[in-house]
Chain A
Amino acid sequence: MRKQVEQIQAATVLFAGDSGDGSQTIGTQMTETSAIVGNDVATLPDYPAEIKAPAGSLAGVSGFQLHFSSETIHTPGDSCDVLVAMNPAALKVNIHKLKDNGILIVNSDNFARKNLRLAGYADNPLEDDTLTKYQVFPVELTTLTRRALEDTDLELSKRDLCKNFFALGMILWLYNRPMDYTIRWVKTKFSTKNPHLIEPNILALRAGNTYCEATEQFAISYEVKPAEFTPGKYRNIAGNTSTVLGLVAASHQSGLQLVYGSYPITPASDILHGLANYRNFGIVTMQMEDEIAAVGVAIGAAFSGSLGVTGSSGPGLALKSEAINLAMIAELPLVVCNIQRAGPSTGMPTKTEQADLLQMFYGRNGESPVPILAACRPTDCFDTVYEACRIAVKYRTPVIFLSELYIALGAEPWLIPNVEDLPKIEPNFQTDVDGFEPYLRDPDTLARPWAKPGTPGLEHRIGGLEKSDITGNVSYDAENHEKMVNIRAEKVKRIATEIPTTEIYGAQEGDLLVLGWGGTFGVIRTVVETKLEEGCAIGHVHLRYLNPFPSDLGEVLKRFKQVLIPELNTGHLRQLVRSEYLIDAIGVNKVQGQPFHVYELESKISKYL
């Protein structure tokens, strides 16, 4: 019997299980396949800080949410059409995210008394009426996987590790997706170190697929047609990978060797891992003894005439602040990546937040202006970190690049850029001895010369003590200090003269402007699109440049009756905008370690329309 195929516009699937169950792996695979077959995709990995919390516990639940669509989408979805729960804890933690009448697939083998108790269930939810509003599919995932692998040589305990691929096989069937891409990935992944795992995983994948086809349990499958994209070549990319490629591109295009100093920290470590692979691009990665050493080597590299970059998350940035200030007064190019996570202090390392913005603005002693740029989505990390490098080199200044866990780990399709279209980055090293002074500035940019050690005749000394204008010698002169403070501020301000003016999406003036920055882009855009369809006079401005602001921003804000600023903090951008432009901006704020849901923001925005 041929089963029924239903066309749908979009779907959201959440894979959840113990942190060792491989939910992140199959979630990523489903994402890759969905992107390759032409859907727009957005993802939200949500995992615990513990590498392996006690098996079956609520604390150990790891989830991966994927939204795929035949339309353009900007968020991983508020609620799910399908929840795959590998154990009772995963069910308990995530069931509220499943839509009414949504599909719930559970590994019924794991619903024995012990796991139920660990998850805090007094009774088995599969046997009472707690789940009646969902379409429940209990599947003996462990048993079926073992059966599928009966004829393999794999030891019994290892066979159970393949059950995530059984589950993936089911979901691929459910959405009429090919298995080819996953099979290819499994072959590449295990080819060198664990070739004996290739066959069992593929067998499990196929078994899951066949199971859905064969059993009467599953009567309907779904199809999500390709979305419309700008023509071109695409790949699926996560934010941190996009940051890595942006840094490699900036190094390559500027001709400057990239020296990346870092100390492992969630969620920035991926950048260190990624860059460490590209020695053949001449890239140096230095895993240092601490956060300060990590920025120190980047500053040393910058002094030598290389592209010095360091990366961390909020706690690391706190430690680096004195060194960033040194680069600021020494006026050396430096790029500092802050992949924000939920604070304060150690906070919630695996959860997302945007609460480091004021730290980046003000977290250094003295008058310390530093340009700040923020990426708004995974693919935007590439362009934004590239632009951070360009500004750092051109203006001889540290630049802070902000990303955040949500976009750093989230993935989406990326229109691969042409190398020749990338903006120029020109180091313009000083070589001319005539008239050289370490702090004699370019009259337009106010940048000082970059004279690298090894250049004859340009020997000079720099440091953290206040500099005398032009000569750069140590100076305690009162008037000079004020002058230098003003020059350093003016240098950063002048960046605004060359950056793009504000782009307003939607109404160019009217009732409400939603002003955002960073990873809230997708949810804001989704809500604003809806409101525009309803005929509201609403606009959306999303800031990449936070310091300096675009030169026309104040004028743009005044074109709207009200300005609403959604942020995953208690109102950092709102404070900055209020003090800079003296407007009564309203905040929409959330600090739960989770991104905004579309419905949350929509209900807030509706109040002002």
Chain B
Amino acid sequence: MKKKKSSGIPLGVPTLTQKDFMSDQDVRWCPGCGDYSILAQTRRIMPELGIPQENIVFISGIGCSSRFPYYMNTYGFHTIHGRAPTIASGLKMANPDLSVWVITGDGDALSIGGNHFIHLLRRNFDINVLLFNNQIYGLTKGQYSPTSEQGKSTKSSPFGSLESPFNPISLALAAGATFVARSLDRDPEHLRSIIKFAFEHKGTSFIEIYQNCNIFNDGAFFQYTEKETKADNTVFLEHGEPLVFGKEDEKGIKLNNFQPEVTTETNDTDELIVHDQYAENTTLANFLARMSDMPEMPHPIGIFRSVQQNCYEDMMTDQIAFAKQQRGEGNLEELLNAGDTWVVE
């Protein structure tokens, strides 16, 4: 795994613990909500990132997940619905030394904020986006979301929803995201490792987290998260490794006429698809992303794509430095007196 640190973030603050990241506010999610685990893993991994609290900022929009910043003892901004990426972009641009985290949900990022979400990804600010996908609107008490399955019966769709869902991974890849991953609220260790990789990636890092809403959409992801079914319904992506899954890794995924197919002949690894998360070309990542639309295929979990591209804030900083070098540091007196002037005695 490539490890590149964000430039400018002061490192090497060794003494923090997860307790340092707990704010004085009571956490107010429903008991049993998947958000608790994501909060706990984030707090646990923060000390390992080696950045002081004051250089970390959590920005959220609106929704259950967006209460998150209140619970972190860092800087935080609970903004307005769908707009967290814009505020995070301005913040990161104005101070590239900060470690900026966007906390969002499926409604916040993909419905009301869909436009900002895709543009954030293509600009590639060095920002980390954690999308809590519970496939439902929780805070407004149970309407279908842009990731809900078609036909879903909810308060606002008593006869079933008519809309086909977004695949957040495909959407992110199509928008040119440089780091795209998926993790699970109920797999703490994996989630922590993915959060850490996201932090280490220089550029916009996008993590879709399958998150259980035990009130309005309980069990939506249980086939991918629970012990009995997880192994057969998920495939964990490891760079350079063949795609194998099942309790004994007894199943593999191969290509048949450009279609994925499950095979039990896992010894012949030449036949199996080998994961390459660093591929510049998005063909494999797109292919893996679309696998989760196929009921007979396991859902990929892990890092789909991780490539290096220039970050907006660095390019802007370079432009400013270049302009100063070419024209000299801005002189207000000269600027006001520029152009054709005349003197009245």
Contacts and interface: CB of A to CB of B under 8 A. Distances in A.
Interface of A: 32, 35-36, 38, 181, 229-236, 245, 248-249, 252-253, 257, 259, 261, 278-284, 286, 288-290, 292-306, 308, 322-323, 326, 330, 416-417, 419, 452-465, 473-474
Given A245-B335, A292-B86, A453-B75, A279 B98 contact: no
Question: What range describes how many residues of B lie at the interface?
Answer: 35 or more
A244 B80 CA distance: 29
Given A290-B115, A419-B332, A464-B79, A259 B95 contact: no
A235 B339 contact: yes
**DSSP majority for the A interface?**
mixed
B94 to A, nearest CB: 4
Interface stretch (B32-40, B189-197, B221-229, B321-329): B321-329
B332 A248 contact: yes
Contacts of A473: 25
A300 B86 contact: yes
29 contacts: A181-B340, A230-B344, A235-B339, A235-B341, A284-B94, A286-B89, A286-B93, A295-B86, A297-B87, A298-B90, A300-B77, A300-B88, A300-B92, A300-B93, A302-B90, A304-B98, A308-B90, A323-B83, A416-B337, A419-B332, A453-B91, A454-B98, A455-B54, A459-B75, A460-B76, A461-B75, A461-B76, A461-B78, A463-B78
B52 interface: yes
A284 B93 contact: yes
A301 B337 contact: no
Contacts of B115: 289-290, 293
A299 B85 CA distance: 12
A32 B75 contact: no
Interface stretch (B66-74, B288-296, B301-309): B66-74
Given A38-B342, A252-B332, A454 B95 contact: yes
Nearest to A452: B95
B333 interface: yes
Contact of B326 (A280, A301, A304, A452): A280
B330 interface: yes
A63 B55 CA distance: 54
Q: Which of B54, B87, B115, B343 has the most CB of A within 10 A?
A: B87
A32 B320 CA distance: 31
A233 B333 CA distance: 12
A474 B70 CA distance: 9
Contacts of A298: 90
A38 B342 CA distance: 8
Closest 3 CB pairs of A and B: A296-B86, A300-B90, A463-B78
A121 to B, nearest CB: 40
A35 B342 CA distance: 9
A301 B94 CA distance: 5
B1 interface: no
B87 A299 contact: yes
A302 B228 CA distance: 50
A454 B79 contact: no
Interface of B: 23, 25, 52-55, 57, 59, 69-70, 72-80, 83, 85-95, 97-98, 115-116, 119, 316, 319-320, 322-324, 326-330, 332-333, 335-345
A474 B60 CA distance: 15
Given A289-B116, A293-B115, A297-B87, 20 more contacts: A231-B343, A233-B344, A235-B337, A280-B329, A281-B332, A284-B320, A286-B89, A293-B83, A296-B87, A297-B89, A298-B90, A300-B87, A301-B93, A304-B94, A305-B94, A323-B80, A326-B79, A459-B54, A461-B72, A463-B77
A280 B70 contact: no
Contact of B328 (A36, A181, A280): A280
A314 to B, nearest CB: 21
B23 A461 contact: yes
B73 A459 contact: yes
A475 to B, nearest CB: 11
A458 B78 CA distance: 17
A458 B75 CA distance: 8
B11 to A, nearest CB: 14
A457 B337 contact: no
A279 B319 contact: yes
Given A280-B324, A455-B54, A286 B90 contact: yes
Given A259-B94, A293-B119, A459 B74 contact: yes
B120 to A, nearest CB: 9
B75 A417 contact: no
A461 B69 contact: yes
Contacts of B337: 233, 235, 416
Contacts of A419: 332-333, 336
